[in-house]
Amino acid sequence: MDRGQPLTEALFYILLAARKPVHGYGIIQEVAALTGGRVNLGPGTLYGAINSLLEKGWIVLYSAEAGSRRKKEYLITEAGREVFAGELRRLRELVSNGKKMEEET
């Protein structure tokens, strides 16, 4: 996945949740709240995605409590914001074109 590829729904919501410092469980809670419970990120999915986002430089480890896996907080980077903004533009285009097609029928 690179900047030209669409984001998965999980990655989209993780980047959205990381607009402020947030720990893994906080991401799970926020995504569930934003989607009315439709998207439930399991720990394996979440931490696999977080590792991928860290490797790509789209989020950073904001803070971590020494010796604790649970107290790590993540924050979106400028590169992550750019990717997120590009995905938002792509999704808006999809919706706009869908509405146009719907109006024609």
Report yes or no: 14 and 32 within 8 Å, Cβ to Cβ.
Answer: no
100, containing H or E segment: helix 78-104
All domains of the chain in start order, with CATH: 9-104 (1.10.10.10)
pTM to 2 decimal places: 0.87
Can you point out the beta strands (E) in the chain?
22-23, 59-63, 73-76
pLDDT tens-digit readout, 17-70: 999 999 999 999 999 999 999 999 999 999 999 999 999 999 999 987 766 666
Q: What is the Cα–Cα distance from 17 to 100, expressed in whole angstroms?
A: 31
For residue 85, give the amino acid letter: A
